[in-house]
Amino acid sequence: MPAVLHRVLARSAAGTVLLALVLVGLATAPAHAAPQPAGSGVVAGQSVQQVAVQAAGDEKADNKKNKKKARKKAKRQARLKKVNRMLRIVRAQRGDPYQYGAAGPNRFDCSGLVYFSTHKAGFRNVPRTSSQQGRFMRRIPRKAMRPGDFVFFTGGSGVYHVGVFNGRSKGGMTVIHAPGSGQRVTTARIWTSSWYAGTLR
């Protein structure tokens, strides 16, 4: 069968079945007929019905695979929307005073700010403390960070502080965080190299 016809028939679901039927004709033709394409999946001697059933099964498998990809893509896009919403919420808290143990809506400690903003954006499973949050988030390389990811500051006893990554500027990488007693939620340049990145993306 001409290669052009083979490609045209293979472009659609109906063409797949028709192609299978054509290949059956080739497979059952006299010995001097043109050879069937390699990898066609058609075995000489198969009936038209058998080939049609096989083609339908292949099409069903392809459709299932495509639906799975579509669901995965939709889920990923939904998570990105939540992350963007969370970042807007965090940015809106700048200027709010720090208070140990507070998780909003008008006062925060560092992990309380993360807890408040993630839950309000729809991430209902994010835990409360910075160490728990550090274990909960998926770790990523620093170079892969995007605004809305998280910066977990570490010391000898593990994670002691958390901030929300705000982006890169000429001055370096910045976070939005609740610094400590007597201070307010603010944007600051990352001041140490002892930290790792996490994400909800």
Residues with active-site annotation:
110, 161, 177
Compute the residue count for the chain. 201
Whether the Cβ atoms of residue 27 and residue 44 lie closer than 8 Å to each other: yes
Q: Across-strand partners of 155?
A: 158
Whether the Cβ atoms of residue 177 and residue 164 lie closer than 8 Å to each other: yes
Residues 6+ apart with CB under 8 A from 58: 16, 41
Q: How many of the other CB atoms lie within 10 Å of CB of 188?
A: 13
C-alpha–C-alpha distance, residues 150 and 50, integer Å: 56
CB-side exposure of 174: number of CA atoms within 13 Å?
11
* Angle at alpha carbon of residue 101, lines to 183 and 123, rounded to 5°: 100
